């Protein structure tokens, strides 16, 4: 861990992932919310490795809101930002956003940013 824990505040980790059609579980190629929570676990794990040299564990989520659907064919960006550092804990702000989406009306392999 860094000598100055407050220096960790603001550390940001981002992953991008293509959502396969095999990940869709519902009509309309909709992907379940657990998929996004898994992405959050991945970025949080990297934060823990970078700050503490250990994978760490999630204790809890304080609030989760799904504001838009995740669909097969999307490219999702998940970001974790360290917002507070305790002696044995980290608070993270987690966000996922769709950065690219398939656009089948324009063509079988068309997509939009």
Closest alpha carbon to 93 in 103, 109, 80, 104: 80
Task: Say what the pTM is.
Answer: 0.89
E strands present in 10-89: 12-18, 75-85
How far, in whole angstroms, is CA 4 from its chain's centroid?
A: 26
pLDDT in tens, 28-48: 999 999 999 999 999 999 999
Per-residue model confidence (pLDDT) at position 88: 82
How far, in whole angstroms, is CA 74 from its chain's centroid?
A: 13
């Amino acid at each position: 861990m860094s000598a100055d824990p407050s220096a960790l505040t603001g550390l940001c980790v981002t992953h991008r992932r293509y959502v396969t059609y095999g990940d869709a579980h519902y009509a309309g190629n909709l992907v379940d919310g657990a998929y996004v929570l898994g992405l959050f676990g991945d970025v949080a794990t990297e934060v823990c490795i970078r700050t503490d040299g250990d994978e760490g564990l999630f204790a809890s989520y304080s609030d989760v809101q799904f504001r838009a659907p995740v669909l097969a064919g999307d490219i999702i960006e998940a970001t974790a930002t360290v917002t507070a550092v305790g002696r044995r804990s980290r608070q993270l702000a987690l966000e996922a956003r769709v950065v690219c989406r398939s656009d089948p009306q324009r063509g079988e392999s068309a997509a939009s940013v």
